Structure 1
Amino acid sequence: MQKKSIRTALSTACALIAVLALTGGPAQADDAAPRVDLRVLVVTDGGPAVDAIAAELDTAGTPYTKVDLQQPGRPVINAGFLADTVEGRPRAKFQAVVLPNDNPFSTGSPEMAALATYERTYGIPQVDAYTYARPAVGLQSAVGNGYAGSMDGVEAQVTTAGRAGPFGYLDGAVPFEDNSSSVGESYAYVSPPTAGADFTSYVDAAIPGRSTRGSLVGEYRHDGRRELVVTFVYNRYQQQFRLLARGIVEWMTGGVHLGASRNYFAVHVDDVLAADARWDTDLNCTPDVDCGQGQGMPNPIRMTAADADYAATWQNNRNLTLDLAYNAEGSADHRLANNGVDLLADKLIADRNRFRWINHTYTHAFLGCQQDVSVVPWRCDTLPDGSTKWVSRSEISYEIATNRVWGQSAGLPLENDELITGEHSGMRLLPQQPTDNPNLAPTLADNGVSWLASDNSREAGQRQVGPATTVPRYPMNIFFNAGRVVEQVDEYNWIYTRRQQGGSGICEDNPATTTCLATPLNTTTGYTEYIAPLETRIALGHVLANDPKPHFIHQSNLAEDRIAYPVLNGVLDGYARLFADDTPVVNLRMKDIGAELHKRSAWKSAVQAGDVTAYRIGDTVTVEAPAAVAMTATMPAGTTRGTTAFGQAYAGKVSGWVTATAQPLALTLPSSAAPGAVHDGAGTPATNETAPRARVPAGVLRQVPYSRES
């Protein structure tokens, strides 16, 4: 064992004394200090609250062990399961425990007794994922003293203690969703602490009919143990959980854990310089796209120089850089038709360094199979032998290289290894084209493409296409063929109403579609009152889910009525209202998003394979992983790696990636990161009384209505 500094030894010894003082044991030397593995024990009964916390850990890359109480043959939770000795040192196998409630076991359960002893001995915190208010958890009974009922539409608040503690990344408001008047989405027990209980509320709400407030999330210290008592039900998708998930993890781990979480938002604007076809509100189709041959009059939508100037000013005011995916032929065609003049291209080129730019191919050609558009929907053309006729390697290369050369000549700040093909074409597209164009992968290699955009609604995960790794993008339900509000609403009505209402029938054909309308929207007010709020909620949900995938819209949505901005403003305004200044939106370019997703995937695989070992001894954290795997961790501010500061600041902590080598990663925590104090408080002693199952409204067992990608 390597020698530690005097500071390290003293800190470790103090931490050990604090732990042993709880059990009356004698102070021991530093070499007997306990080792605490950076892994969470998650005990589930199949309810949505525990599963939500497990999903948060999984997304962040935080190791955990799940024990399903409903699974026959599950491990028995006893002293040997929870702790042992490694190289003569006591080891706590879990740094935190998550339970469905304060005691999900039967009365007098030896498993609950083992957990209580384990938590007292090693100072391990316990999260009660969802329980009801009563003295056994430090709260007055909700019936008669507080409130038990729906929380739909209620705005809770982070308390002063919560702001100073695990929820300091929030500005204060914690609004509960109310997405459907016909579905109960949230239920809570809101009650004040019991007199004399050592209880600190972190999130509270007004008690209806009273002048007092009651706790929804709080810390109960008793019998040498610490519990985070959560008294409202939730699932992983709901905004109230997404807002508090980070704080729950920070509380249970003391801000020292593997994995990391940030809030990301990137917006790609496709078809820049080109013109998008326009929806025909009379024919309910788009000429030159899906109308029958000869039907309708094409009336393309194209940004103007004024639209470009508005976009540049908007992003500067909102501190968010747009990614412009351009098709240079659009400018060439415009100049041919306008005596060499293209004010839009001139303006964008003049402001080129204010945006990020992505190669979107020269003509926006379809790069998969040769399309037979004589039928609706189109089909792949075939050769005489019945095989698929593919777009050639030379045609694909022309699209990539010609657009790149134009961009370089215009001085655009390009990253040559990024590419977005028109309609994400070239890759498989069901049902017409079930496989990639075999000419795509070698052409990507010819042109040095490493990052290839894909459609998240078709392929949610990354995959390799030759040398390129895909970057899935979320399509926003703001249509490419709509430049005006009336067009957006008319097309929305056609898609999402029933045939008897003049709609497409998608609701009859696919009952799983959640965006179906009971009645058509008003074409004047429907966008601002329904569509924009819905799309805002969906996109903000992605932002709050530690999901770096970009969203994409089209240049038509920045033209004419500029219908994208109400949604983009809604996301950013909503975010600013909820989060503190030290937790900004992270706005990455495409290749950096791809790299982040790729590192996460490799890290997750290593964690799930059991190839990662991490533990804390005093103020030293040690992490071991397979060589060349990028490791990620979240630590308190002031954590160092040797003499170098670790990570980047975010949400009051520091986090970052470190590539594993043959030597373990050693991090030194600041003195302020001592293990959380455990008070032998005057609250109600721990018992093995089984906690009754708290009420779960029907709507919380699944993703709430209107919360899927279109």
Structure 2
Amino acid sequence: MVKKNRMNRAAAAMGVAALMSVAVPATTAHAATVAPRIDLKVLVVDDGGSSVGAITAELRDTGVPFTRIDLGSASRPVIDAAFLSDTVSGRPRAKYQGVVLPNENPFGTGSAEMAALTAYETAYGIRQVDAYTWAHPEVGLEYTDNGGYTGTLDGTQAAVTAAGKAGPFGYLGGQVTFEDNSPLIPESYGFIAKPMAGYTSLVDAPVGSGRGSLVGEYAHDGRSELVVTFGYNQYQQQFRLLARGIVEWLTQGVHLGQERNYFAVHVDDVFAPDARWDKSLNCTPGDYACAGGEGKESTIRMTAADAQYLAQWQTSKDFKLDLLFNAGAGEEWKTENGGTDALTTQLLADKAKYRWMNHTYTHLFLGCTQDVSVNPWTCTKDAQGQTLWMSRADISAQIRDNNNWAASKGLTTDRSELVTGEHSGLKTLPQQPQDNPNLAGALADNGVKWAGSDNSREPDQRAVGAALTVPRYPMNVYYNTGTNAEMADEYNWIYTSRTDGGSGLCEDNPATSTCLPAPLDTATGYLDYIVPAEAKTALRHVLANDPKPHYVHQSNLAEDRTLYPVLNQVLDTYRSLYAPSAPIVNQSMKATGVELQRRAAWNKAVDAGQVTAYRIGKDVTIKAPSGILAPVTAPNGTKKQLLLGTADFGTAYAGTRSTWTGPELLQSAVTLHLL
């Protein structure tokens, strides 16, 4: 639960004392004739609360530079005129383009620091976000005992107002529903109140017979504050929906950093069969360590009808899946089943409808030689105690043969992309604590630049020789299940206690797993419980500017077609929340790899203080180290200066234009001209 502010009407009676009379910095005396320079950086004053933490996370995750002041630190700098502004080459400079505070005055009554901020914001037209405050006249709102509401907001159906749609929240569809994950736990607390003069409500909610504000702009005394009257954290959906707009309002639509809503889904093992979960044995015959499973092996594989359904579904949802294929495994299946394969025939007939990616020829384990006679398996060693590894030639053959098969069938692939079976070849803890030393060479032999990895093991991008990894999120739609009942049964085994008939893994690892209070009904549990939970997790990634792809398996498109309910819920929910101006970005793994690489380089340059960016009037200048592209967001109509003339800047998304950009030919900096 987000802790509520301990504020009351009595405290309001004391009020905020009249701001101290502080002279505008001397440098602003030139403002009438010399436009000030405003640096593209945000000042964050942090009290340690979750609301400021959420905004800070949004700035960090989207690439917006900021300076954080720890309000509780005895060694923090004093916020005064010299801290906020100075003069550069005879021009007055505002060091921050926006200010984020925990509330409207976190420094205390009569504070010289708040007076300095007020003077600064007034002089330079800088906006301020009050991350979380209560409803009272000092922020332009009536007290809640005058037709308002104070209390929990779980499940509240808030909405973007007409002013919000015309302003910073125009990328939303309209509704902002507050999460209500448990009826037993309060999750959000806040104040719904009536606006006073000078206050424009941007997000409101029902209260009594009318509506009251939850987010609004309070214009007063030559300043503008964005007033938020509910608590939140960075993961809650209501904040994720509003986060972009908060930053756009704060920066007046011009800032470093950019944001997209990404969703890509990889379907592994296409053409290959997947082993099936055994409900009586609680393991998977044919896989490792399934006691009693000998002779009980069963597999799951798509049919031609499943492939036809996939093509139809993609068209109906305007969403493309990535098919990661094992051609050799498919050829083996065909040989073992009479020499014909209707599935492959159908998928190849529709080949232009999909993105195809190399998943190796026969899905071999590309790491160490495994000893599967023990549980868990171990790496086999030679007489000298050295680990035995799959050779570079054998790894290369797995990559090359799959590429050659694809070429022979007219499949369009990007040979720089590869996901190995089980992400093998990459380190696999605890058994294989290092990459196969032959992997990097084999990737280079085949021109692989982007290698899929498992985000649950390695969430950060890293180098494998000349290649870079692209972490992928595993979805809790299991590879070894083809039906809803199998999914619920295996889920029960993993997430119920031993006394309830489960494995007890959730009891053994309480820090990473929570036990179900009772086993799911295997007839209804998948659709009623697992699908909503998994869709919510995936949607959280989508709303967090996170480009990492998700992955499932071809078995999830077969039999009961268990994947579709999850995808339908993610896509349908997203499209009900967002306007058409902010579509889901469904991009390739290579594009995601490039995005992650650029973000890492940008963050490193920002952290090292190597980026200079500022606005003077309608001109924006950005300087970064050579070779480093900058993420930039600007209003529609912005032009980029070329050597000769200008060009439209960036690409349209969510009502603004943004892109990664660098200097043009013979230029040392990026120059943008605002409309």
TM-score in terms of structure 2 length: 0.94
Where does residue 519 of structure 1 map in the other structure?
Answer: 518
Partner of 1:684: none
Matches of 1:264 and 1:397, distance apart in 2 = 32
> Which of 180, 183, 204 is the matching residue for 2:182?
180
Partner residue in 1 for 2:217? 219
Are residue 645 (structure 1) and residue 648 (structure 2) matched? Answer: yes
- Are the equivalent residues in 2 in contact too, given 1:131–1:232 (CA < 8 A)? yes
Matches of 2:170 and 2:295, distance apart in 1: 56
Alpha-carbon distance between aligned partners in 2 of 1:415 and 1:28, rounded to the nearest angstrom: 54
Secondary structure, counterpart of 2:165 in structure 1: helix
> Counterpart of 2:306?
307
Q: Output the CA distance in 2 between the equivalents of 1:159 and 1:527.
A: 37
**Separation (CA, whole Å) in 1 of partners of 2:188 and 2:39:** 35
- Where does structure 2 lack aligned partners over 5 or more consecutive residues? 1-22
| 98, 118, 121: which one aligns with 2:120 | 118
The match for 2:140 is 138
Q: Answer yes or no: is 1:606 the counterpart of 2:610.
A: no
Change over 3 Å in CA distance of 1:27–1:397 after alignment to 2? closer
Contact map agreement 1:616 1:622 (CA 8 A) in 2:
yes
In structure 1, C-alpha distance between the alignment counterparts of 2:408 and 2:481, rounded to whole Å: 31
In 1, the alpha carbon distance for the partners of 2:268 and 2:628 equals: 34
Offset at residue 21 of structure 1 (A): 13
* 1:683 corresponds to: none
Q: Deviations over 1:515-563 (max 9, x none)?
A: 4201000111111111000000000000000011000000000000000
Q: Which residue of 2 aligns with 1:271?
A: 269
Tell me the alpha carbon deviations over residues 73-93 of structure 1, each in whole angstroms, 9 at most, x when there is no partner. 001100000000000001000
CA distance in 2, matches of 1:464, 1:568: 31
Q: Percent identity?
A: 60
Does the 8 A contact of 2:30 with 2:92 survive in 1?
Answer: no
The alpha carbon displacement at 1:646 in A equals 0.4
1:315-364 deviations in Å (ceiling 9; x for gaps): 11111111000001222112212332111111111111100000000111
Q: Aligned runs of 1:376-391 on 2, under 5 Å?
A: 376-391=375-390
CA contact (8 A) 2:31 2:92 kept: no
TM-superposed CA distance for 1:464, in Å, is: 0.3
- Are 2:281 and 2:293, in contact at CA under 8 Å, matched by a contact in 1? no
1:421 maps to a residue whose letter is T
Per-residue deviation, 1:72: 2.1
- In structure 1, what is the equivalent of residue 403 of structure 2? 404
Q: Distance in 1 between matches of 2:164 and 2:343?
A: 50
Shift of 1:659: 2.8
Q: Is the 8 A contact 1:22 1:120 kept in 2?
A: no
Higher RCO (CA < 8 A, seq sep 6+): 1
Q: Please state how far the C-alpha of 1:145 moved relative to its aligned partner.
A: 3.0
Asked whether the 8 Å contact 2:38–2:94 carries over to 1, the reply is: yes
| More off after superposition, 332-341 vs 568-577 | 332-341
The answer to whether residue 286 in structure 2 is matched with residue 281 in structure 1 is no
Corresponding residue to 1:77 among 76, 79, 98 = 79
Superposition deviation, residue 660 in structure 1:
4.3
> Following TM superposition, by how much is the alpha carbon of 1:381 offset from its aligned partner in structure 2, in angstroms?
1.1
Opposite residue 259 of structure 2, the aligned amino acid is S
Q: Normalising by the residue count of structure 1, what TM-score does the alignment of the two structures yield?
A: 0.89
Note the alpha carbon deviations across 1:551-592, whole angstroms, 9 max, x for none.
000000000000000000000000010000111000101101
1:376-414: per-residue Cα shift (whole Å, max 9, x none)? 221111111222111111211111111111111111110
One-letter identity of the residue aligned with 2:669? P
| Residue pair 1:292, 1:376 contacting (<8 A) in 2 also | no
What's 2:360 paired with? 361
Give the corresponding residue for 1:584.
583
After TM superposition, list the pairs within 5 Å mapping 1:141-160 onto structure 2: 141-160=143-162
Match of 2:7 in 1: none
Number of equivalences:
645
Deviates more, 1:165-174 or 1:146-155: 146-155
After TM superposition, give the deviation of residue 144 of structure 1 in Å: 4.5
Q: Determine the C-alpha separation between the residues in 2 that align with 1:451 and 1:659.
A: 23
Distance 2:382 2:541 in 1: 43
Deviations 1:6-26 (A, max 9, x none): xxxxxxxxxxxxxx9999x98
Distance 1:516 1:395 in 2: 42
- 1:155-234 matches, within 5 Å, as 155-194=157-196, 197-207=197-207, 210-234=208-232
Q: Deviations over 1:425-464 (max 9, x none)?
A: 1111111111111111111111111000000000001000
Query: Displacement of 1:188 after TM fit?
Result: 0.9
User: For the aligned residues, what is the CA RMSD?
Assistant: 1.6
Superposed, 1:435-584 pairs within 5 Å as: 435-584=434-583
SS at match of 1:541: helix
Residue 418 (structure 1) aligned with residue 412 (structure 2): no
| Code of the aligned partner of 2:151 | G
Q: What is the CA distance between 1:296 and its match in structure 2?
A: 5.6
Q: SS of 1:634's equivalent?
A: strand
Q: Distance in 2 between matches of 1:622 and 1:325?
A: 43
Distance in 2 (alpha carbons) for counterparts of 1:659 and 1:617: 19
1:59 is displaced (CA, Å) by 0.8
**Structure-2 residue corresponding to 1:108:** 110
Output the CA distance in 2 between the equivalents of 1:411 and 1:515. Answer: 47
Return the offset for 1:657. 1.1
Distance (Å, rounded) in 1 between the aligned partners of 2:246 and 2:482: 43
* Deviation of the 1:143 alpha carbon: 3.2
Partner of 1:667: 672
Q: State whether structure 2 residue 62 is matched by structure 1 residue 60.
A: yes
Letter in 2 for 1:137: V
Structure 1 residues 218 and 22: CA distance shift in structure 2, 3 A: farther
Describe the SS at the equivalent of 1:142: coil
Indicate conservation of the 8 Å contact 1:625/1:660, yes or no: no
C-alpha distance in 1, partners of 2:445/2:389? 18
2:654 equivalent to 1:655:
no
Equivalent residue of 1:535, what SS? helix
Report the 3-state secondary structure (helix = DSSP H, G, I; strand = E; otherwise coil) of the residue aligned with 1:310.
helix
- Structure 1 distance, partners of 2:339, 2:399, is 24
Letter in 2 for 1:663: S
> Is the CA contact 2:662–2:670 (under 8 Å) kept in the aligned structure 1?
no
Q: Look up the SS of the partner of 1:148 in the other structure.
A: strand
Structure 2 counterpart of 1:203, which letter? V
- Superposed displacement of residue 108, structure 1: 1.1
What is residue 33 of structure 1 aligned with on the other side?
35
Alpha-carbon distance in 2 for matches of 1:305, 1:350: 11
Hey, what does 1:259 align to over in structure 2?
A: 257
The 8 Å contact of residues 334 and 341 in structure 1, kept in 2 or not, is answered as no
Structure 1 pair 170/307, CA: closer, same or farther in 2 (3 Å)?
A: same
Distance in 1 (CA, whole Å) between partners of 2:609 and 2:669 is 16
Q: Secondary structure at the residue paired with 1:260?
A: coil
CA contact (8 A) 1:463 1:469 kept: yes
- Larger deviation: 508-517 or 538-547? 508-517
Q: Which amino acid aligns with 1:224?
A: G
SS in 2 for 1:369: coil
Structure 2 CA distance, aligned partners of 1:382 and 1:409? 39
Stretch deviating more after TM superposition (43-52 or 180-189) = 180-189
Q: Distance in 2 between matches of 1:296 and 1:282?
A: 14
